[in-house]
Structure 1
C-alpha cells in the first residue's frame, strides 16, 4: 500500500463513527475495571442489545491486544444484527464495520481495513455523507454503547438518545434509552427525574419489565411504595429469571427493609450468572445488614449461632467479590468489620490494612478511617490509634455524616481525658484541631465550656 493510500485510509478511519472513535475509555484508570463494568451492566444483556455487547467486547479485546478474538466478536455482532434488524442491517452495521476496519488496520491488513471503510462509505453516500451519517439508528447505537460503559459515559448516552429523538420523536428504543440514562444520572427523588419519562418509556415498550422496576424505585422515593411494589411483582411474574429485573427488584426490597426478600432475589439472579462479582457483593452486603439489624434490635443474646451463621454467609460472598474484583471500595472494610464482630481480630486487621493500601475516593477514605478507628477504640482498646484515624478522616475535605461522627468521637475522647487531667496535651491539641476545622457543634460549645471552667 502506497504512503498516499495509507494516509487516506488513516484519515477515513478517524472519520468513522464507531467504538474506536467514541473515546469510551476516557478517564478510565484500569481496563480491568472498565471491562468488569461493561460485563455487569445487566440491563443491556437482553437479546436486542447483544450486538452492542459484542461490539464493546471486540473493542476491549483489541485494547488487550487480542485482535483475532476481537474479529470473532464482530462476526457475532454482524450475525445478530442480520437476524434482529434484517430490514435495517446496513445502517445498524455501520459501527460494526467501522470496528472491523480499525481492527484490520491494527493487524497490519490495510486492504481488509479499506474494504470495510468502503462498505461504510457506500451506505453513507446514499444519505449524502462520505463516512458518517446522523441518523437515529447510529445515535441509538452510540447511546447504548455509552450506557453499557456506565460511569462518566451516562451523560453522553443521554445526549445521544436526545439526538435520536430529535430525528425520530417517540421512538420506543430512543425513549427507553433516554429513560434509563436519565434514571442513572438523577437517581434521586422526583421532580429531579420525572416519573413521566419512565411512564412514557413503559407505554412505548410494554414488554420491557426492567423499566417497570426503575419506575418502582422512583415511586418508592415519593412515598408511593404500594404502586411501586405492584410494578415490581408484575415484572417478576413476567420475567422471573432476568438478571437486571431481579437485581433492581432486590434493591427495591432492600430499601423497603425486607432483607430476606432482597437476598432471595439476588440469589436467584446469581443462579444465572454465578461468577458475577457485583451480585456476590450485594448478597454479602445484605447478610451484613442482617448482622447489623440483629445488633440494633439487641437480638444477640442467646442467638450467637445465628449471628455467626450470618457472618459466615456475608464473608463467603464478600470474599468472592473482593478476590474476583478488587474495585469494591467497601468490600474489605465490610469483611474487616464482620471478622471483628466474631472476635477474629487478625483477619479483621488484615482486611483493614488491605483497604488502607488502596487508592480510594475521599468519601470511601472517610468511611474507612471511621470504621478502623472504631475497631481500634472498641475492639483493640487502642485509643491513640483510634484518635489518629479519626483525625485523618476529619482532615479530608469532604462533608459527610462520617466526618461528623468522627468529630463527635474526638469531642468525647477529649472530654473524657480532660475530666481526668485538665492539662492533658493530646486533649488540648484535639480541641485546637477541631476549632481549626471551623465546624461549631453543640458538643464543641459544651467542651469549650468544660475546658474554660477547669482551666
Structure 2
C-alpha cells in the first residue's frame, strides 16, 4: 500500500469505535494478571455475549505484543457474533472490525486494515458518519469494556449505560450494566447509590445471579441482612454458579461473620478459577478472622483452643503464600496475617500469661519462622510500620535477641535476599535499637522500590549501581530520602 494510503488510514482509524479508541489501557500499564482475569470471567455477568470477552482479549494481547494471537481472538469474536446475534450481526461486528483494522495497521498489513475499514464504512454510511455511528449497542459494548478495566473507568461506564438506556429503557443488558457500574461507585461518598437501580435490573433479568448477590450485599449494608441472605441462597443454589457470584456470596457471609460458609464458597469459586491470588487472600483473611473470634471470646477460651488457633494460623499462612505467589501485593497480604501471628505471643510475653504446657516463643522468633516459610516468594515487602512491632521486654541480662536469617532449609540468607534487611530491622526493633532498625528498613525500602513493577526505582536511581544494595544506590543510612526517627 502506498504511503498516501497509510496516511489516510491514520486519519480514519481514530474515528472507529473500538477498544483502540476508548482510552482504556496504556501499553506499559497493563496489569500482569488482567488477561487471566478476563479469561476466567464468565463475561463478568453477561454470559450471553462471550464475543465481548474475545474482543477485549484481542486488545490485551496486542498490548502485550502478541498480534497474531489477537487476530485469532478477533476471528473467534466474529464467529460468536454471527452465531449469537445474527439479527444484529453487522452492528455487533463494528467493534470487532475496528479492532481488526488497528491490529493489521500495527502489523504493517495496510491492505488488510483498509479492508476492515471499508466493512465499517459500508455499515456506518447508511447513517450520518461514514466511520462511526451512534447506537445503544455500541454504547453498551464500551460500557462493559470499561467495567472490566475497573477503578477510574466505572464513572465512564455508567455514562455509557445511561446513554444506551435512553434509547432502550427496558433493555436487560443495559440495565444490568448500569446497576453494576452504579454499585461499583457506591463507595464514593459524593456518588449516592440508589438501590432501585439494582432492583430494576433484577426485575428485567430475574435469572441474573450476579445482580442478585450485589443486591444482597447492598441490603446487608442497609441492615436488611435477612432479605439479603435469602437472595444469596437463591443465587448460589442455581447451577452452574459463576465464580464471581460465589465470590460475592462468600463476601456476604464473611461480612456476616459466618466464616465457615464464607470459606466454603471461596473454595468453590477457586475450583472454577484455579490459582486465583485474590481468592486465596480472602480465604487467608477468613482463617485470620476465625483466630480473632476465638481470641475475642476471652483468655480461657483461647487457652482451651490453643491447638485450634495454631491450626488456623497455619491455614492462614499457607493461603497468604499462595496469594503472593499468584501476584497479590505482599505488603497488602502479609500485614494482616503477620499481626495475628505475633499478637498472642506478644501479650503472653508482656504480661506473663503463657499457657503452662506451652513452650514460650518470642515474637521475633514467630517472625523468623514465618519469614523463613516465605523465603520462596521472591518479592516480599515490609510488613508494618515500626510502631506495630513491640519493643523487647526481655531482661537485659538475658542478652540481646538473636534471629539468624535462615530459610526453611536452615541455610543463611544473603543480605541481598528479598526481605533480609526487613528481618534485621525487626530484630533491632525488638532489641530496642531504633536507629539501627530504621537504617535497615531504609535499605529494605530501597530494595522494594528498585524492584517495583511500577518502575518507580528508575526515578530515584539513575546510576548503574542500582542492583548493588541500598547504600551504593544512594539509599542507605542517613540518606535524605528517609531519616531515622530520634530514639
**TM-score, normalized by length of structure 2?**
0.72
Q: Structure 2: 5+ residue runs without aligned partners?
A: 346-364, 393-425, 442-485
Partner of 1:334: 336
Shift of the alpha carbon at 1:373?
Answer: 3.0
Structure 2 equivalent of residue 447 of structure 1 = none
Q: Measured at CA, do residues 115 and 131 of structure 1 come closer, stay the same or move farther in structure 2, by a change above 3 Å?
A: same
Corresponding residue number in structure 2 for 1:15: 15
Classify 1:39/1:388 alpha carbon distance in 2 versus 1 (closer, same or farther; 3 Å).
farther
Q: Residue 158 of structure 2 contacts residue 182 of structure 2 at CA under 8 Å; is this kept in 1?
A: yes
Which protein is richer in helix relative to its size?
Answer: 1
Q: Deviations over 1:126-162 (max 9, x none)?
A: 2222111110000000000110111111111111101
- Say if 1:195 and 1:95 are closer, same or farther in 2 by CA, change over 3 A: same
1:127 match: secondary structure: coil
Residues in 1 aligned to 2:43 and 2:436: alpha-carbon distance in whole angstroms: 44
Does the 8 Å contact 2:102/2:113 carry over to 1? yes
Residue pairs, 1:39-58, within 5 angstroms: 39=39, 44=44, 46-58=46-58
Q: In structure 2, what is the equivalent of residue 263 of structure 1?
A: 263
Counterpart of 1:159?
159
Alignment of 1:143-158 (within 5 A): 143-158=143-158
1:55–1:77 contact (8 Å) kept in structure 2: yes
Contact (CA 8 Å) 1:190, 1:218: kept in 2 or not?
no
**Structure-to-structure mapping, 1:17-416, within 5 angstroms:** 17-25=17-25, 29-32=29-32, 34-35=34-35, 38-39=38-39, 44=44, 46-187=46-187, 192-239=192-239, 241-298=241-298, 299-327=301-329, 329-337=331-339, 339-340=341-342, 343-348=365-370, 356=381, 369-370=384-385, 373-377=387-391, 381-383=430-432, 385=434
Residues 307-351 of structure 1 deviation map (CA, whole Å, 9 limit, x = unaligned): 222122112221111011143652122343355468532144577
RMSD of aligned alpha carbons: 3.0
- Partner residue of 1:416? none
Q: 1:329 to 1:356 in 2, by over 3 A?
A: closer
Report if the CA contact (8 A) 1:91-1:123 is conserved: yes
- Quote the offset at 1:39 in angstroms: 4.9
Q: Secondary structure at the match of 2:303?
A: coil
1:45-95 CA-partner distances (Å, limit 9, x unpaired): 653242111111111111111111111111111122122211111111111
CA distance in 2, matches of 1:327, 1:293: 26
The whole-number CA distance in structure 2 between the counterparts of 1:261 and 1:386 is: 46
Normalised by the length of structure 1, the TM-score is: 0.76
Q: In structure 1, what is the Cα distance between the partners aligned to 2:189 and 2:257?
A: 18
Structure 1, unmatched stretches of 5+, are 358-367, 393-428, 431-455
Partner of 1:417: none
Using a 3 Å threshold, how does the CA distance of structure 1 residues 338 and 54 change in structure 2: closer, same or farther? farther
Contact kept in structure 1, 2:35 and 2:60, CA below 8 Å: yes
1:216 positional shift: 0.8
Task: Check 1:219–1:316 CA distance in 2 against 1; reply closer, same or farther (3 A cut).
Answer: same
Question: Are 1:377 and 1:386, in contact at CA under 8 Å, matched by a contact in 2?
Answer: no
After the TM superposition, which of the residue ranges 118-127 and 26-35 deviates more from structure 2? 26-35
Q: 1:287 to 1:245 in 2, by over 3 A?
A: same
Aligned-pair CA distance for 1:101? 0.8
Asked if structure 2 preserves the Cα contact closer than 8 Å seen for 1:250 and 1:265, the reply is yes
Aligned to 1:453: none
Contact 1:165–1:174 (CA<8 Å) still a contact in 2? Answer: yes
Number of matched residues? 382
